[in-house]
Structure 1
Amino acid sequence: MKENWFDVLIIGGGPIGIACGLEAKNKGLSYLIVEKGPIVNSLYNYPVNMQFFSSSEKLEIDNIPFISKSAKPDRGEALEYYRRITTNNNLNIKLFEKVATVNKDGDFFDVHTNKDNYYSKNIIVATGFYDLPKKLHIEGEELSKVSHYYKEPHFYAGQKLAIVGASNSAIDAALECYRKGAEVSLIIRGEEVGSRVKYWVRPDIINRIKEGSIKAYYNSEVTKIVENQIQVKTLDTNLTLKNDFVLALTGYQPNFEFLTKMGIELSKDDKKIPVYNKDTMQTNVEGIYLAGVICGGMETHKWFIENSRIHAKIIVENILS
């Protein structure tokens, strides 16, 4: 095969992209993984103290043991695990290189990045969903005090912090920041803490709310953000709360524009689920496959590392057939 020509080009160097690269290598296919950031970029951008819901054996790929100090591994252990897999297996991966366009040219795909140009007979899209936050679409969201990503709690010590959301990311941030000295208010659209919050965390947040350590506003939404305040609409009234920082942890979504530009069709409803064959993972565009959470469209809670690891074998088997 000529230089920059591959049997398989994998877009995304997360756990599932790495699994696809390993499977391609094991089956003798020429391959390249292209990742826009560091190895497992999405995991790198997770909160520093994040603990996985899944146990370590369910995060394993290619039957390579994942040993952690507790049943539920943390972010640091996951970074170590996937980095060692990548380096020890000498995977062919380009880091800090972003795919710009994918165009079909006869029997091959012409892939342009910000650094180079590649050609491949098959494309695997394993880009996940962590890149684009779901915006609030309100006045003041562009202020520097507002963030859609949470890293660690020290920054918010001694500050009035409003956290928008009720999922695992929002609840973890609320508890951590409260324990580091932040005055935390939770703005929750529904009538209770999210039902999918980790079972060992849920009692903690409920008890902190009951005792008044963390203030929760249910059936509420932020309507405006200014430098020292936020405006909150509840079922009964409109509130103005003093505020220093806002964490809008309302979830994330795949880059649908990137998919549609490749010709991949999406469902017509709000779920925007990409069209693909569940038996082969091939999309409506012959030669383009989906792997990992990208398969779920807006239903990002349905796919995880543990239930999408199998995609690598399904895809490579189909390519070889």
Structure 2
Amino acid sequence: RQTSKEALLEFWTQAERKTGVKINYKERVEDITRSGDGFIVKTNRGTYPTRSVLLAIGRRGTPRKLGVPGEEMSKVVYRLIDPEQYKGQHVLVVGGGDSALEAAASIAETDSGGGVVLSYRGAEFDRAKARNRDRVQAAAKTGRLQVMMKSNVKKVEAESVSIEHEGEMKQVRNDAIIVSAGGVLPSEFLKRVGISVETKYGTV
């Protein structure tokens, strides 16, 4: 059974309200050290003594960045929150997985009026689900979405972005960029806090 992001977010929001669990948003764990029979958890906001630590950080880790000039601009983000906020804007989505295809299709389906470009370095969307590939194909047929396969972002500027597409450099008008290129595994963090990591066939 497929669940939309909106439905999943609503489920967790209700769970937070019902249980009363305290969640510290925008707080990043930086280190975990032993202290007697417990641990000291250090974050970007402070430290917490605790008897036990449960790690539920997933395998995605921190968002993978493009590593190009101009990426530090505020118009570059690493996840889609609300497609409606991009109405009328020229949007670039980078990536070839389900998150990238969902973001590009969702924005295109709002009839933004600006134009949506999906850039992917690969030759085909072999990692994405069929339903997301179908959504992208449908949006492309209407002209609301431009798909650039075998392409790489080279530079981000205030009103445009430079993309190398099949050996040719192109300047594309742009107001916002959503990078959905996966994440960097938290292997170093896990090793630092004393958790052994074993990699087999490219997976952890």
Under a length normalisation based on structure 2, what TM-score does the superposition of the two structures give? 0.80
1:244 aligns with 2:175: yes
The corresponding residue for 1:175 is 105
Q: After superposition, what is the alpha-carbon deviation per residue over 1:231-268, rounded to whole angstroms, capped at 9, x for unaligned?
A: 11122311111111111111123433431221223457
The corresponding residue for 1:33 is none
Contact 2:108 2:139 in 1 (8 A): no
3-state SS, counterpart of residue 131 of structure 2: coil
Structure with a larger share of its residues in strand: 2
Give the distance between the partners of 1:135 and 1:206, measured in 2 at CA. Answer: 26
3-state SS, counterpart of residue 170 of structure 1: helix
Structure 1 residues 189 and 82 mapped into 2: Cα distance closer, same or farther (>3 Å)? Answer: same
For these two proteins, the number of residue pairs brought into alignment is 197
The corresponding residue for 1:184 is 116
Q: Out of 20, 23, 26, which is 1:95 matched to? A: 23
Contact 1:99 1:111 in 2 (8 A): no
- For residue 100 of structure 2, what is the amino acid of its counterpart? A
Query: Higher RCO, 1 or 2 (CA under 8 Å, sep at least 6)?
Result: 2
The corresponding residue for 1:112 is 41
Structure 1 residues 103 and 80 mapped into 2: Cα distance closer, same or farther (>3 Å)? Answer: same
Give the distance between the partners of 2:90 and 2:15, measured in 1 at CA. Answer: 42
Give the distance between the partners of 2:148 and 2:195, measured in 1 at CA. Answer: 40
The corresponding residue for 1:147 is 77
3-state SS, counterpart of residue 136 of structure 1: coil
Give the distance between the partners of 2:201 and 2:64, measured in 1 at CA. Answer: 13
Moved more, 175-184 or 78-87: 78-87
Gaps of 5+ in 1: 1-54, 56-71, 274-295, 297-321
Q: After superposition, what is the alpha-carbon deviation per residue over 1:201-260, rounded to whole angstroms, capped at 9, x for unaligned?
A: 322312333454311111110000111111111223111111111111111234334312
Give the distance between the partners of 2:121 and 2:131, measured in 1 at CA. Answer: 22
The corresponding residue for 1:134 is 64
The corresponding residue for 1:308 is none
Identity of aligned residues (%): 25
Contact 1:138 1:223 in 2 (8 A): yes
Map 1:259-278 to 2 at 5 A: 259-267=190-198, 271=202
Under a length normalisation based on structure 1, what TM-score does the superposition of the two structures give? 0.54
Q: After superposition, what is the alpha-carbon deviation per residue over 1:67-126, rounded to whole angstroms, capped at 9, x for unaligned?
A: xxxxx23334434545666776x58x54217544322346x3322343531123xx4322
1:232 aligns with 2:160: no
Alpha-carbon shift at residue 146 of structure 1 (Å):
1.0
- For residue 223 of structure 1, what is the amino acid of its counterpart? K
CA RMSD of aligned residues (A): 2.8
Alpha-carbon shift at residue 130 of structure 1 (Å):
5.0
